[in-house]
Amino acid sequence: MTPFALTDRRPVVPAERLVAEMVPPPRFSDVSFGSYLPDRTQPSQYEAVQVLEEFAAGLNHASTAPKRSWFRRTAPAPAGPSGVYLDGGYGVGKTHLLASLWHATPGPKAFGTFVELTNLVGALGFQQAVQTLSGHRLLCIDEFELDDPGDTVLVSTLLGRLVENGVKLAATSNTLPDKLGEGRFAATDFLREIQGLAAHFRPLRIDGQDYRHRGLPEAPPPYTDEAVDAAAGRTAGASLDSFDDLLKHLSVVHPSRYGALLDDVRAVFLRGVKPVEDQSTALRLVVLADRMYDRELPVTASGVPFDQVFSEEMLRGGYRKKYLRAVSRLVALARDSAKVG
């Protein structure tokens, strides 16, 4: 088998596909509240499940409530909050719970990351995005980001219009690992940034440690170039690229197309992983890591371990949350490389 190179691909993604693909990623395609395994030492995880189940029940009630008649009065459905916000650290199962809420809610509904939502607005235009999403009962936004003021204002304005049109909202974000003891650190930031929408959201704190690291080793040692090439050659659906070449290629592909870049890929192989020095390049790698993680693509790589791919300076900077999430996910995918070949 001859592996192909991601650098040879230049996908074109129509706006209609962006809308149609607003569903939980394959990793979370079959999850439910019942399949979420709360940490027995973390009561907040049990409470979050209960609150979200009640939120879903309210949405189901609204979908089955009889319509108002001229000849009969019907009791209105319980008002409840317009949105819920899951506040917690990495790997405590926020995306699992968000996807479970999506699965438990009748359609029409949409699920996407903050970045995917901003990409959708860019593709459709603001007014068309409002019109398209206003027909939905629920919009789930994973990994809400507060580090770009322009995008935050854009999405906050969009959500305000959607709430006016009756759309229910659910969102997640991340508290920095060293801020977990400071109560509602992320929730306070989130509610401040969305300003007028704050009153519509009920924040739910979810404490716990990263499940990907529970009892598991840190980043596995990298392979040799020869081992990477050999494994790629015997793996169906393998992509094989130089890390440097792939990073250069990402600069000419819009991030909204990184998912399409991975169409039909079953495993990713990279030669020569090394620390990323440029911030723009690092942020593109974060988006690619998210899309690979969504698709559960094992990553077999040579070079430095993935927990060394971002410099200490970057990990202390304004995009720290993104980089730590990417490291967590890349390390998980690197562990999965043991299943390849």
What are the beta bridge partners of residue 91? none
Query: Looking at the domain assignment, is residue 330 inside a domain?
Result: yes
Q: Say if residue 42's pLDDT is above 80.
A: yes
What per-residue confidence (pLDDT) applies to 213?
52
Query: Looking at the domain assignment, is residue 96 inside a domain?
Result: yes
What per-residue confidence (pLDDT) applies to 205?
82
Total domains in the fold of the chain: 2
- 142 and 284 inside one domain: no
- 285 and 139 inside one domain: no
Measured between alpha carbons, how far is 28 from 98 in angstroms, rounded to an integer?
A: 9
- 143 and 245 inside one domain: no
Give the position of tokens 């996807």.
99
- 77 and 203 inside one domain: yes
- 318 and 198 inside one domain: no
Query: Looking at the domain assignment, is residue 312 inside a domain?
Result: yes
CATH assignment of the domain containing 85: 3.40.50.300
Q: Which two tokens stand for residue 251?
A: 């600069």
Last residue of a domain, one of 155, 182, 210: 210
Q: Say if residue 182's pLDDT is above 50.
A: no
Residues 6+ apart with CB under 8 A from 231: 223, 238, 269, 300, 337, 340, 341
Last residue of a domain, one of 181, 210, 239: 210
Query: Looking at the domain assignment, is residue 299 inside a domain?
Result: yes
- 313 and 239 inside one domain: yes
Tell which residue, 235, 221, 245, has the closest CA to residue 301. 221
Q: pLDDT band for position 81 (50/70/90)?
A: low
Q: pLDDT band for position 249 (50/70/90)?
A: very high
**Residue range 115-171, pLDDT digits in tens:** 888 888 888 889 999 999 998 999 999 987 766 667 777 888 898 899 999 999 998
- 103 and 181 inside one domain: yes
Q: Which two tokens stand for residue 338?
A: 């043991």
Measured between alpha carbons, how far is 257 from 251 in angstroms, rounded to an integer?
A: 12
* Amino acid found at 341: G
Query: Looking at the domain assignment, is residue 21 inside a domain?
Result: no
CA 231 vs. chain centroid, Å, equals 29
Biggest alpha carbon–alpha carbon distance for the chain:
78
Domain residues for the domain of 57 are 31-210
Measured between alpha carbons, how far is 296 from 313 in angstroms, rounded to an integer?
A: 29
**Residue range 219-240, pLDDT digits in tens:** 889 999 999 999 999 999 999 9
CA 171 vs. chain centroid, Å, equals 10
Residues 6+ apart with CB under 8 A from 156: 193, 194, 195, 196, 197
- 255 and 196 inside one domain: no
- 248 and 335 inside one domain: yes
CA 182 vs. chain centroid, Å, equals 24
What per-residue confidence (pLDDT) applies to 190?
60
Lowest mean pLDDT among 69-73, 236-240, 301-305: 69-73
Q: Which two tokens stand for residue 180?
A: 């977990």
Q: Say if residue 84's pLDDT is above 80.
A: yes
- 37 and 171 inside one domain: yes
Query: Looking at the domain assignment, is residue 23 inside a domain?
Result: no
Measured between alpha carbons, how far is 225 from 193 in angstroms, rounded to an integer?
A: 46
Q: Say if residue 176's pLDDT is above 50.
A: no
Give the position of tokens 């899951």.
86
Average pLDDT over residues 246-269: 93
What per-residue confidence (pLDDT) applies to 330?
94
Query: Looking at the domain assignment, is residue 62 inside a domain?
Result: yes
Q: How far is CA 138 from CA 26, 35, 60, 335, in A?
A: 19, 21, 11, 34
Last residue of a domain, one of 190, 210, 230: 210
What per-residue confidence (pLDDT) applies to 254?
85
- 204 and 221 inside one domain: no
Query: Looking at the domain assignment, is residue 334 inside a domain?
Result: yes
Measured between alpha carbons, how far is 133 from 165 in angstroms, rounded to an integer?
A: 9
- 187 and 230 inside one domain: no
